[in-house]
Every structure is written in C-alpha cells, then in structure tokens.
Chain A
Amino acid sequence: MTNKLEVMEDKMLEVQFVGDDDVLNHILDREGDSLKNGSATDGGNKVYSFQNRKHSEKMAKLASELAKTPRKNVSFNLKNDPEIMTNIPQCSKGHSTSDMIQLKNNDNSEFLSTAPSGLKKRLIVPRSHSDSESEYSASNSEDDEGAAQEYEEDTNEVTLSQKIQAQNRVVSNPVCKEIPSKKMKRDKTSDLVEEYFEAHSSSKVLTSDRTLQKLRRTKLDQQTLRNLLSKVSPSFSAELKQLNQQYEQLFHKWMLQLHLGFNIVLYGLGSKRDLLEKFRATMLRDSIHVVINGFFPGINVKSILNSITEEVLDHMGTFRSVLDQLDWIINKFKEDSSLQLFLLIHNLDSQMLRGDKSQQIIGQLSSLRNIYLIASIDHINAPLMWDHVKQSLYNWLWYETTTYSPYTEETSYENSLLVKQSGSLPLSSLTHVLRSLTPNARGIFRLLIKYQLDNQDNTSYIGLSFQDFYQQCREAFLVNSDLTLRAQLTEFRDHKLIRTKKGTDGVEYLLIPIDNGTLTDFLEKEEEES
C-alpha cells in the first residue's frame, strides 16, 4: 500500500482492469495457477492445443500483470483517460453480495466525485447483455479504494472513504472461498475434445460491447499513422542490428545454394523486406532479377509472368493462357542455358499468390535450373500451401530470419489493414469518378447517397427502388425521363458505383456498395468544396 500511496500523491489514479472473480483468484494464488492459466508456457503445446474458454476480462488482467512486471504498479492519468474510468463495475453474473456492495460503493464514490455526466449515464443504464459476465469490469477492491480515495481528496470527505474501505475488506473475504472449487472444475475438464465442444457449445460471444466509436481515436489514415509511428524510437536497435548482421553473413551461402539448384525461403517474425533488399543490393547488382511484392494487392501470377516475358525476355507477343506463357518461358530458359534470372518474392504467401495454381506456376518456374528463387513467408499457415509435389518443385532450403522489423510496407496497403483505416482509396476514386460527370449526374448520385445514409439504421434496407428514385430525381429536376435516368445508372454501374438487385417483388433496387462512413466523408467533402 505504501507504494500506491506514493503514487496517489502524484494525483495519479491506479487502475487495474480486472474482473472481480479473477482479482480474487489473483490475490489468492498470484504466483501459482493463475499465471499458468493465463500465459503460454513454452513451445508448441500452447500453439496447438485447445484452451479453456476465456473470460473477457482475462486480457485486462494479463495486461495489468505484464505492466507490473518490472515495477510494481501501473499508474494512469485520470484526466487523459476518462474512458477507463467509465468501466467501473458492472454486475457480474449471480449478483453476489460483494458485487452489490462494490456497486454501491462505486456509486457512492461516483456521486461524490465530479464525474462526467456520461459516466453516470453508463452506470444507470441497465445492462442489456446479461449473458456476458461483467463487461469490462471493475477493478479489484484495492483499486476501488484508490478511486474512492482519489475522489475524496477532491471533495475532502475523508471519513466516508474509510467506511467504504472497511466495508470492502469485510465483504471480499467470504467470497474467496468460492474460488478454489471453481478452479477445480476448470482443471478437471482436461479432455481436449470436451473442451473443444464446451468452447463451441454456445454461439454467444463473451466480449464486451464497447465499440471504437466511443473512443475518440478511431480514425487514423495511413499518413498520420506513419507520422505517429515515426516518432516512436525503435527499441533494441543494437540487438536487431546484430541479428541482421548475422543474417547478412549468410548471403554468400545463399548465392551458392541457389546456384546449386536449391531455392531459399525465409521465415520468422518480422519483415524480411529490408534483408532481401540488402541481399539484392549486395549480391545481385550484376544479374538480371525481378523483385515481386507479394503483398501488393494487385499482384497475380499473370503479372509476374508478363514482367518476365516482356521485360526480361523482351517478348512482344501475347499468350492465350497463363499455361502457354509458362510453357514458353520454360522453353526459353531451357534452350538458353546462359540465361539466368533471380526471382525475389516478398511474401510468397500473400492473399494473391497463395492460391494453388499460382503456387504451382511459381513452383514450376523455380524448378528451372537457371531461375533462382528466394522468397519470404510470414503467415503461420504458409507451409500448408505446398503439398509434396510443390515442395519438390520448389526444392526449398529453409532459413529462419527473425528480424522483428515492423511490416511497414507489407501492411501499408488499404486492404491489409484493420477496420481503423478510413476508406481513403475508395473515397478518392469516388471523387475522381464523380468529378468527371455532369452536375446532374452528380446530383443523382448524391440523392442516392443521402437516401442510403438516411436508411443506414434500417437493417432491412435493401436499396432504393428504381421507381422511387426516378420520382425523386424528377422532383429535383435532375432527369426528365426514365430513359435518361437509366443511361445515367449504366454509367454508374460501369464504374462500380452502384449495384442493382432484384427484390422479391421483382422491382429493381439500387444500392451503393461503399460503406456509410466513406459516404458521409464524401458528402462532407462535397459540401466543403461547393
């Protein structure tokens, strides 16, 4: 406690994201089972084995544990993180007495404090998802004390807080006894199969319902993300450099083995792009080589083959099929043994190249004596792409190159990113296309956007029927006959801006296949401009 009091003096609030049950668990056997339960021990058995169903607050618990490891406490700045504050207690299943009292407890402190109004609302609103065991919950009792104390410092009502503390202590004790039996039960179900089915028995998802929208930092585009990340100083740079140097010593060996008919595949955590770039710069300066960015969303085998035929072999003709093209290349390389080609493929396991046919074709290329392939893979299941036949085509030698470098380039393309990214690419293409249209056409499209946005909360919305649309356009003096409207729509359809669907009543419905966020952005932008 002394530790914590020190912290409090700095006007910091100590917070731990831990569920009630787990806190008690945690207090009871901190060093013991709880650690084993939560974190992977070693080797494969964790990767490949089933695990118990996890509780939603486990992650928070682990976070606090991890945060604690070197120093004993985690501090949070209250003012900057109001969201965290809001997660004060939810009722957990069963409504045990302790929970009730904790709740009351917190209510007290809330009302005492000058908490933001949102907070109160959250507390008052009854939980709709009774199935989830306590949303993102509470802190352990000590934290409550901390919170309470903090508030009380603000309001200078010290006496009450002490009462609460006392209450807390009293109540938390009896609940402890409940835990061991629960744990026993959990341990007993060691049978993997049972565990599996237990985990899949209900479709309910035990996670909290919070969404990113409630956080303010939802949208970051590529540029800001990069800017922000550039401010982060990379840690362990000395060690990383040493690792990289280690790998660079292998370059000569790679060249040797490539020449002897093997192909090289690099695996391990971290982007291997820089390493391969270095390899390219040092070893391949004087030979023909093709660098293929597998992570590029528009890549496909056809384009790889095209760049070989057109740029490497200077062939101007076209081919009827990819297989023909492959045959042609193979013949070319077989005929001319002085021809040598290095293929560097970053992310051979990317979405676009992992298909069976693509792998077959690349494999056949690589099996040629004078084509040398060096590739990198990242996906955990990447080796599943290759059956025995393909593996023997590739004739791999595996090299582990764990670099820990961030996958900056690999994840920079729009589609490889998670929800966070604003749809800047569709947005820009949208503006581009619309700019080339007549004002009337733009008006028509805007009408459709607005209608779609008005209906965004309607889950059964399937689109705007053509007749209604025509009516609206007419009223806005945008078209004079349904033929003109149809002509317009054809243009939109050609640009993939709208999709038409036949409803159950046989009426045509129009829909813009772009997410609503992007559309809103687009409208805002349009309004700014005009």
Chain B
Amino acid sequence: MATSSVSKGCFVFKPNFKKRKTSVPIDEYFNKGKNESEDSKLRFETYQLVWQQMKSETERLQEELNKNLFDSLIEFLQKSHSGFQKNSRDWGYQIKLREIPTAALVLGVNVTDHDLTFRSLTEALQNNVTPYVVSLQARECPDVKHFLQKLVSQLMDCCIDVESKEEENVQIPQKMTHCSVDSLSSWYMNVTQKTDPKMPGKKRTSSSQWQSPPVVLILKDMESFTTKVLQDFIIISSQHLHEFPLILIFGIATSPIIIHRLLPHAVSSLLCIELFQSLSCKEHLTTVLDKLLLTTQFPFKLSEKVLQILINIFLYHDFSIQNFIKGLQLSLLEHFCSQPLSVLCCNLPEAKRRINFLSDNQCENIRRLPSFRRYVEKQAAEKQVALLTNERFLKEETQSLLENLHVYHTNYFLVLRCLHQFTSSLPKCPLGRQIRELYCTCLEKNIWESEEYASALQLLRMLAKDELMTILQKCLNVFRSSEKQLGNTAKRIEGFLAQFQSLDAQANEEEDTSGSQSKGLQKTDLYHLQKALLEMKELRRTSKKPTKFEVLREKVVDFIDSLVREHLQPPETQPLHEALYCSAAHTLRERLNAAPRMALHTALNNPYYYLKNEALKSEEGCIPNVAPDICIAYKLHLECSRLINLVDWSEAFATVVTAAEQMDANSITSEERNEIIHARFIRAVSELQLLGFIKPTKQKTDHVARLTWGGC
C-alpha cells in the first residue's frame, strides 16, 4: 500500500491541478448517500436555510444575553481608566495607580462556550473602549517570555489594524526577539502620541474620547495559567502602570476564590478586582429552547427522545450550549437526510406550494406514513378511496392537514406556556420547574393521564387568591402575545380576573361570619368544647358550602384542564407529524454520545452481535471456540489477576484453538500447526496490547500486566 512505510508516517497526496475540482458541490454527497431519494436537492437547500436561520438566531440570542454583562464590564473599564486619564497629583490616585484594574469574569464550567463569549466581548470592547484588546490562553504562555511575546505580537496586530498597515511589518520580527514591559510602554507612548493628532475626528469616534486608550488584556482561562507567570507579569506591569495603562480581565470557570489561591496576597493586592457573573448556562439553554424549539418560527421540531438525549448530554456531560446547538444541527441534518418528506419542513406557504409539485413517489411516501394511515382509517369509505388513489385530492388534503399541524403548534406552545405558569411555582414542582421538563412530558404522552398532572391539579385547587391572580395575569400576557389564535381564551381569562376582583368586596362579609362562630366557643369546659367542636365538624361536612372564591378557583382549574386536554395532545396523534419531527434518537446518541469501550467489550465478548454467524451463537457469557482469535485471548485473559503468564496463556489459547480446528486440520503437520497457532496467539496478544488491555511488565519474566479493572 502506498501509505505504509518503515521510515515515514505522513503521506501527502496532491492530485494535479487540472484534475482537482475547484469546488465540490456538497449536496452531491447529500444525494448519493441515499438510494434515489426524492427532492434531495431541495431538501438540502431547505436544510441549509433552516440551519442558517437557527444559527443566526442563536447568535443573536447569545449577544442579547451577554449584553448586560458586557455593558457593566465596559462601564467598569471606563470608570477604572478615568483615574489614569485625570493624571491627578492626588495621593489617593497615586495609590490607586499602583493597582491594576481587574475584572474577574465568572463564566461557569461550560468552557466550550467561553470562546464565543470572549470573541464577542473583544468585539464589544474594540468598538466601545479601546482598540488594544489582547486575549491570551494559558497554553500559549508557558513562561513570562512567551507571555510577553504573545502580548506584543497581538498588540502590534491591533495597531496594524488601526493604522492601515504601514511600515510596521518590518518592526515586528525585530521586536519579537526581545520583549519587555519596558519596550511595551515605550511602544505605547509612541503609538498614542503618533495617533493622537491624526485620529480625533475619524475612525475612533467612540474611543477617541480618551487621549490614551487603555490596553485590555483578557486571560481566557485564568485557572490554567502557571502561578509564576501570572505573578511575575502582574508585578512587572504594576510597576509600569503609570505609563502603560493595563486593564486585566480574568476568565474564570470555577469560582473567584481561585484568584487568591493562585496569587499570594502580595500580588493580589496589586489588583483592584471587581467581580462579574455571566448568565448561567442553564438559563441560557432555557432561552435557546424557548426561542428555537418552543416557537412556530422554525418548522423543525424534535421528538421527545431526541430532545431528551440532547438535554441529557447538556445536563450530565458538559453544560455546553455549543454542543447542544451542535446536536441540534446534527438532528436537523439527520432529519433532512433520512426523511424524504422533510421537504415540507419549511414555512407554511412555501410548504403548500411544494405540495403541489410533489412527485408520485412522494405521494406514495405520504400514504405510507403511519400517522397518515391512521388518519385515513378514520375517514369515511369514499374519502379513503379518494385519498389512496387520487393524487390531486391527496395533495389538497395534505395541504389542509399541514395547515392544521401549524395551527396545532401555535396553540400547543401557548397552552404549554400557560400550563407552565401554573405548574412551575407549585410546591415540589410535580411537573418540573423548567418548561423543558414539562415539554418533554407533554411530547411523550397524554399529560393529563400522568400522576404528576393529577397531583399538580390537586395543588392548583389549593392556591391562594393572589397567587392565582398573578398566574392568570401572566397567562393573559402569554395569550395576548399572539393575537391570532385562541382569542377567546384570552377573553375568558380576563373574565376570570374580573370576577376575582369583584370577589374582594364579598370576601369581607364571609370573614365576619366565620369570626362570629369562633366567638361562640369561648368559656366552656373541656367536655363542652369537645362536643361543640365535633358538632361544628359535622356541620361543615354535611353542608360544606364552598365559598364563591372556591367555586371560581374550581372553574379556573377546570378551564386549564380543558385547555390542556384539547391542545396538548402529543404530536404523534397529529397526521403528517413525521415531516416536521426528527425522530432519529438512536443515531443521534451514537454520533454524539458514543460508548467506545462498550463497543469494544461487546465485540470481544459477544462476536455474534456483529458477525451474524450461527456458529458464534452461544449462551450468555460464553464464547464458542471458533470465535476470532482476539476474542478467545481476551476471554482467557479475563480469568487472570494482575499479571498473566504468557506461557499459560498461550497454552490455554492453543487448547481452545486446537479444539476448534480439530476436524479440518489433517492436511498440515501438527508441528506446523502448532507454529501457526503460536503465531496467531502472538498476533492476538499484540492486538490486545494495542487496545490497551495488557502491557509488558518487568515484574516477572514472561508476564504481562492487565490494565483493565477486572485485573485488580
């Protein structure tokens, strides 16, 4: 093979220029993957469109969510820098001048999302505060020298960006060789003096308000910096602070205590630290879900299993929004790849238009959808025939069904939010505190059949009036937000609210009556008191006349219940839901949350799982002796403790293999056969070594050590 050699590990293949295609159309791969699938080109375009929309939406969300944080950060930077600006002789300022203004930015453990945050932060700072924004990562700076080098080179880059790339090119390499904060500050003086007269009106309108913009240094992953580097840098730069206005921003993933753990008091006292907390990733997720999935804006939806997998990966693995979005992208791709009817997964007018152009095959695909079949079975006989034979009729019906599906979604999300308002604040949260939990339950089954729902209603029936009213008010806002659907629901809620308000007056009277009753119990002996209490209890049980408030509350709860039953049916009940819902849960889990150890283990333990050969079939925990060599060797090695004697192993292996070969091995001499078996054993052992199950050891001659848990 061209790619194996004893002297080389990298092989570059460059097809000659003429042959090379300039740009391979990606959708070609999309087409060929499936055999003759329908509308694949259109589907791929739709995929890209939907994905682009979703992506820009998430980016917009991210920006929005970070806005508060960035605003306060920028304010801090401006405030702290103003001290340098005033250049006053005040003693207080002198002291303060020795302290480097530092923003400690606590970002949470979802390190993968930090990059994006820092990128937009850099952008925001460059637009609003200073052109000199440098961000460093720990792995780039193993020591102070590299630290400074990186700092200088990035600063130069900033500078080049500002000045339209003039003679700087020559200077950089020279400066790279020896960098010190001294040279930095002199460079800074140079630059600010040079640019100041030039700049005022033009480019830096926002930042030119200061004659000397500060240099902002972002340390992206503060925890991973070596203590020494940080300390040295801080001490050095604090000496030069009066001529080199530095502001630090620490990116912190764990907790602010880390600053004091990394820096001794002597160093941290040189910093003037202010703490900033970013939005927690869970809230971020809620917003993303809210804006991407719990909305009719995007036609694409996730089935319960898929959503659960993505949320589980988020909650149990990384807390990373980036990964969640990646999962979303993958599920989108899978959906458009595997479901031919995903052409209809676009906005309603477009989908209707597309229905008209559906091919016969696609019509057949519609008819084959389980949900559609269920729908057809419910129709009258002649309509059934028409649906199954007449393309024209089918298309019209599909259009109306699709429209229904869209209406269903609009109502669904409104009612879902409304229900969430009711259940989120209940004690113990039987239906979950987050709307995503509620959504998952609703997607999974008829929620009103669940026990949790029953207990939630029970709790709702005990709500106090003011609580109920605030919730109703919130629901009203939800319904008002979309005018089109469920208009009269909003009106009914309004009605309820009005009724509650009118209750206020009457309530006072009732309180009076109950008060008078309790007065009657005074000054009796124990026996009479007991008797009276029993009587009262009896009286209450028999009459049990609910107050007006209770009646009204009952009505409200019933109303909600009816809404839920009407609109929160799981999507599986809707015809054509397959076109919009991604259900490739299994594939998604395999792609994103794979279990390579499991796979190895299964392959070694149960080869039948992969090689569907009857000879390999065996009862639990046992493998037949015809199994692949490596499986046999693996199985045998499981029997050993920490160390394995190679001789014993090889003999055991030979026993098994000889038994397997008994029948057909008459042709070759037994000596040769033993040689071959030995060779096979060697191969199996070295493969196990490659897989990391064993390693050579010097503890005892001709032994290997087990590396897996079983070998303890």
Chain A residues close to B by CB (< 8 Å):
15, 17, 35-36, 38-44, 46-51, 53-54, 56, 58-71, 74-77, 80-81, 83-84, 136, 195-196, 199-200, 205-215, 217, 220, 224-225, 228-229, 231-232, 235-236, 239-240, 243, 249, 252-253, 255-257, 259-260, 262, 267-270, 277, 280, 284-296, 298-299, 303-304, 306-308, 311-312, 323, 338, 357, 360, 377-383, 388-389, 391-392, 395, 397-400, 402, 404, 406-407, 409-411, 413, 416-420
Contact = CB atoms under 8 A, between A and B. Distances in A.
Contact of A398 (B590, B603, B605, B611): B590
B264 interface: no
B13 A290 contact: yes
Interface in B594-610: 594, 596-601, 603-607, 610
A195 B685 CA distance: 27
Interface residues of B, number: 127
Nearest to A361: B139
B323 A392 contact: yes
B323 A67 contact: no
B640 A67 contact: no
Contacts of B139: 357, 360
B692 interface: yes
Contacts of A419: 646, 696, 702
Contacts of B3: 277, 280, 291, 293
B676 A252 contact: no
B655 A17 contact: yes
24 contacts: A35-B622, A38-B638, A53-B641, A66-B635, A66-B636, A225-B679, A228-B679, A232-B676, A239-B610, A249-B33, A256-B33, A267-B600, A288-B13, A289-B12, A298-B7, A299-B9, A380-B600, A380-B708, A382-B596, A398-B592, A402-B603, A407-B690, A417-B689, A418-B646
Please list the 4 inter-chain residue pairs (A to B) with the smallest Cβ-Cβ separation, ordered nearest first. A398-B594, A296-B9, A63-B652, A299-B9
A47 B674 contact: no
Contacts of A270: 603
A39 B702 CA distance: 24
B333 interface: yes
B60 interface: no
B632 A287 contact: no
Contacts of A381: 597, 692
A10 to B, nearest CB: 11
A61 B680 contact: no
Given A225-B683, A253-B337, 16 more contacts: A40-B635, A42-B620, A47-B601, A66-B623, A76-B658, A210-B647, A217-B674, A268-B596, A269-B691, A289-B13, A293-B11, A323-B140, A392-B323, A397-B330, A398-B590, A411-B683
Contacts of A312: 12, 14
Contacts of A196: 712
Interface in B691-712: 691-693, 696, 699-704, 708-712
A383 B596 contact: yes
Which of B1, B5, B607, B621 lies at the interface centre, i.e. has the most chain A CB atoms within 10 A of its CB?
Answer: B621
B648 A207 contact: yes
A377 B10 CA distance: 17
A296 B596 contact: no
A304 B10 CA distance: 6
Nearest to B176: A320
A44 B600 CA distance: 10
A46 B604 CA distance: 12
B603 A220 contact: no
Contacts of B30: 252, 256
B10 A388 contact: no
B686 A417 contact: yes
Given A62-B636, A215-B647, A388-B318, A400 B605 contact: no
A35 B620 CA distance: 10
A69 B140 contact: no
A338 B17 CA distance: 13
A392 B678 contact: no
A211 B702 contact: yes
B20 interface: yes
Nearest to A367: B115
Contact of B10 (A64, A269, A292): A292
Contact of B640 (A59, A252, A360): A59
A267 B692 CA distance: 14
Given A287-B20, A416-B686, A51 B9 contact: no
Contacts of B555: none
**Which of B24, B601, B639 has the most CB atoms of chain A within a 10 A radius of its CB?**
B639
Contacts of A298: 7, 9
B469 interface: no
B630 interface: yes
Contacts of B630: 269, 404
Contacts of B638: 38-40, 46, 62
Nearest to B3: A291
Contacts of A285: 15
A359 to B, nearest CB: 11
B651 A71 contact: no
Contact of A71 (B12, B642, B659): B659
Contacts of B670: 77, 80
Interface string B651-694: 11101101110100000101100111011101101110111110
Q: Considering residues A35, A200, A235, A323, which has the most beta carbons from chain B within 10 angstroms of its beta carbon?
A: A235
A70 B651 contact: no
* Interface-central residue, A62, A71, A81, A257, by most chain B CB under 10 Å: A62
Contact of A70 (B110, B112, B625, B708): B625
A39 B603 contact: no
A407 B674 CA distance: 22
B174 interface: no
B29 A212 contact: no
Given A269-B603, A402-B599, A56 B326 contact: no
A172 to B, nearest CB: 23
B32 A399 contact: no
Nearest to A409: B4
Name the residue in B333, B593, B622 with the highest tally of chain A Cβ atoms < 10 Å from its Cβ: B622
B184 interface: no
A402 B323 contact: no
B137 to A, nearest CB: 10
Contacts of B524: none
Contacts of A207: 640-641, 643-645, 648, 700, 703
Contacts of A293: 3-4, 9-11
Interface string B610-635: 11110010101111111010101001
Contacts of B708: 47, 380
Contacts of B441: none
A288 B674 contact: no
Nearest to A360: B139
B322 interface: yes
Nearest to A404: B628
B296 to A, nearest CB: 26
Contacts of B653: 63
Nearest to A258: B29
Given A66-B656, A69-B624, A267 B599 contact: yes
Given A199-B641, A207-B700, A418-B686, A67 B112 contact: no
Contact of B625 (A69, A259, A360): A69
Contacts of B1: 277
A212 B594 CA distance: 40
B662 A418 contact: no
A419 B322 CA distance: 46
A211 B650 CA distance: 11
B668 to A, nearest CB: 8
A400 B651 contact: no
Which of A63, A357, A410 is the most central at the interface, judged by chain B CB atoms within 10 Å of its CB? A63
Contacts of B635: 39-40, 62, 66
A60 B652 contact: yes
B621 A39 contact: yes
Contacts of A252: 29-30, 32-33
B649 interface: yes
